[in-house]
Amino acid sequence: MTVPTLILNNGAEMPALGFGVFQTPPDETMSAVQEALRVGYRHVDTAAAYANERGVGDAIKRSGLARDQIFIETKIWISDYGYDETLHGFEKSARKLGVDQLDLLILHQALPSAFDRTLEAYRALETLLADGKVRAIGVSNFMPDHLERLLGVAKVVPAVNQIEVHPYFQQPELQRMNRQHGIVSQAWSPIGGITFYRGGDKSALEDPVILGVAEAHGKSAAQVMLRWHLQEGRSVIPKSVKPVRIAENFDVFDFELSPEEVAAIDGLETGVRGGPKPEAITLETFGRVIPEE
């Protein structure tokens, strides 16, 4: 099965369906990514802050796949913002992943309390892009005001904005702004895991509307949600360490949701964010040292 690709605003191609490793323990990362690559995923999303880039790199090395067959995406953490610091952050990530070039490098969060450092970090990404160290650059969790400030000074429009999107939290205004600027919206927590991992009592996996659509297609609730994202033009990066789920999340290309089904899922929006509030991201609260090795 060949996954459809999204053409980024600089012409680079990115598989629309990727494999995420958020909160995957370092000692489980290699086997999970190996299984994902075996199933057919060719896009892996990690981050310096996940502390599992080395496991991703080891899995890629052991896969036997050529480097150009795998799209590797990682993120610079806020503690490494600033021009020189971000250039060094790239070196740390590339070393752990065991590669010379990254396919997509993004800033993990906006840092509203030190936005000048955020802008300097993005300037470093532009340098890495110009030098051929990365094939595309972007951001994550940037809200409309963050994007406006960035676009006012950036030479390169971000290719991707990775944001929380699932049926219960869709950020339509932000997605519209991304589209207007040719920025791909990449959904983290695409099946709404954030709504129940952190003590929430509402799971999109048990939503009657989604279960109804799933039953109509002989698919799972997770598969329906992933299909919904893909049909609306988003990139998705579901995560799992369970082989059966890894395979299930990949099996989403043999059915199509009707316009009415898509609209019904669109109608589940609650406006309730599951992840941290963007304005709450500060070095004091979220800063951490990203190790060299």
Cα atoms found within 13 Å of the Cα of residue 32, Cβ hemisphere only: 27
CB atoms within 10 A of CB 176: 11
The single-letter DSSP state of residue 127 is H
Q: Does the annotation count 50 as an active-site position? A: yes
Number of Cβ atoms within 10 Å of the Cβ of 239: 22
- CA–CA gap between residue 67 and residue 243 (Å, rounded): 23
Name the DSSP class of 169: B
- How many Cβ atoms from other residues are within 10 Å of residue 195's Cβ? 24
Instruction: Name the catalytic one among 50, 81, 122, 168.
Output: 50
Buried b (16+ CB within 10 A) or exposed e, 213-228: bbeebebbbbbbbbbb
Give the whole-angstrom CA distance, residue 155 versus residue 15.
25
CB 202 within 8 A of CB 168: yes
Instruction: Single out the residue of 141, 233, 143 nearest to residue 189, CA to CA.
Output: 141
Q: Are 189 and 164 in contact (CB under 8 A)?
A: yes
Degrees to nearest 5, angle at CA 57 with 53 and 59: 115
Which residues are the active-site residues?
50
